[in-house]
Amino acid sequence: MQLQSESSGSKLVVTVEDERIDAANAMKFKDQMRWIVEDSEQDVLLDMSQVDMIDSSGLGAIVTVMKAMGSDRSLELAGLSEKVRTVFSLTRMDSVMTIHDSVEDGLGGIARAS
Amino acid sequence: MHPDTTSDIVGDIDMRRGVGPDGSERVSLLLPATNMAVRSGISTILGLVDQRDCAREEIDQLEIALAEVFNNIVEHAYPERDDGMIDVTVELKDPGAHFTILDTGEPMPSGRLPGGHTADPERAPHEQPEGGYGLHLLRTCARKLRYARNGDTNCLTFRVRLTPT
């Protein structure tokens, strides 16, 4: 599981450089994300544009990371594939989390719940 | 299995193709119950089904269903083991595919598939449950989902619709 993180203005952009967040690597994703977010106080924008598929393990890992960040910081997503959007929509996660079309949108505009 | 079968091994996966009694194409796969072999298994099954040129959304939902079924088996049927096997039969029918998935691992607790749930839009993101989404995804993406325990075997069957485009 490869994650790149870069500060951009007030946000920390974390790019997932893996095509899947699934049972095979969700635990590594979660551990690495926790390490990154606990090392910062910024809001996080997760760049998912390289991710083709996420399963319930991956979804659970994202929720764990959100809990670790607490209520004062936000974790938003950008660049979801059709398939990943389907997973978020079927589980109603898209009504809970803020999802941007692109990292640019996530950094530029005012955050809007989708 | 009909005598008219061909078989080959793709990576760790033992695959046999043949024809079922009703004339529909039937593929059987035997895959190790490990996360990496499951990835290969999903890819192989999608490859078979994709040849029928179906709607992308249907293939995506099949992938979602398969990931959840296989993850459950790896994690709950064969906990702390990496030598379990998953026996998959895919029958390609019109207008869809029928799946029969067998494993010889632990039975489902209370003898049935748990329900699962969605996220709760009335709660904050950091207050959401961490688990339970997989079963909801499976129930939403698979049709006629049935679980049975037969002797020492778990048997899960379901169908998906595959509409030619």
Average pLDDT of chain B is 91
Asked if B119 and A95 come within 8 Å (Cβ–Cβ), the reply is: yes
Position with higher pLDDT, A96 vs A113: A96
- A10 min Cα distance to partner chain B (Å): 20
- Output the pTM of the full model: 0.92
Would you place residue B4 in the very low, low, confident or very high pLDDT band (cuts 50, 70, 90)? very low
- A63 min Cα distance to partner chain B (Å): 6
SS3 B37: helix
Structure confidence by residue, pLDDT tens digits, B49-103 = 888 788 999 999 999 999 999 999 999 999 988 899 999 999 998 889 999 999 9
Residue with tokens 């796969």: B29
The neighbour count for residue A34, using CB atoms within 10 Å, is 16
- Select the residue of B39, B63, B118 nearest A92 (Cβ to Cβ): B118
Structure confidence by residue, pLDDT tens digits, B103-162 = 999 999 888 888 899 999 999 998 999 999 999 999 999 999 999 999 999 999 999 999
Would you place residue B40 in the very low, low, confident or very high pLDDT band (cuts 50, 70, 90)? very high
A105 Cβ neighbours under 8 A, 6+ residues apart = A78
Structure confidence by residue, pLDDT tens digits, A46-84 = 999 999 999 999 999 999 999 999 999 999 999 999 999
Residue A93 above 80 pLDDT?
yes
> Which one-letter DSSP state was computed for residue B93?
-
Residue with tokens 């029958």: B91
Judging by DSSP bridges, how do beta strands B13-19 and B6-10 pair with one another? antiparallel
Chain A residues within 8 Å of chain B (Cβ atoms)? 20, 22-24, 53, 55-57, 59-60, 63-64, 66-67, 69-71, 74-75, 82-83, 86-87, 90-93, 95-97
> Which one-letter DSSP state was computed for residue B107?
P
Whether the CB-CB separation of B27 and B92 falls below 8 Å is answered with: yes
What is the arithmetic mean of pLDDT over B4-29? 80
Is B40's Cβ below 8 Å from some Cβ in A?
A: no
Whether the CB-CB separation of B129 and B148 falls below 8 Å is answered with: no
SS3 B12: coil
- Select the residue of B74, B120, B133 nearest A56 (Cβ to Cβ): B133
Average pLDDT of chain A is 94
CB-CB neighbors (< 8 A) of B126 in chain A: 66-67, 69-71
Judging by DSSP bridges, how do beta strands A20-21 and A53-54 pair with one another? parallel
Spatial separation of the C-alpha atoms in residues B144 and B153, rounded to whole Å: 19
Rg (CA), chain B: 16
Whether the CB-CB separation of A66 and A77 falls below 8 Å is answered with: no
What's the pLDDT score for residue A109? 60
Give the residues across from A5 on adjacent strands.
A14
The neighbour count for residue A38, using CB atoms within 10 Å, is 11
**Residue B121, preceding peptide bond in cis (omega within 30° of 0):** no
Asked if A53 and B71 come within 8 Å (Cβ–Cβ), the reply is: no
The neighbour count for residue A5, using CB atoms within 10 Å, is 19
CB-CB neighbors (< 8 A) of A86 in chain B: 57, 60-61, 64
CB-CB neighbors (< 8 A) of B136 in chain A: 90-91
What's the pLDDT score for residue B138? 97
Q: Say what percent of chain A tops pLDDT 70.
A: 95
CB-CB neighbors (< 8 A) of B115 in chain A: none
Asked if A87 and B64 come within 8 Å (Cβ–Cβ), the reply is: yes
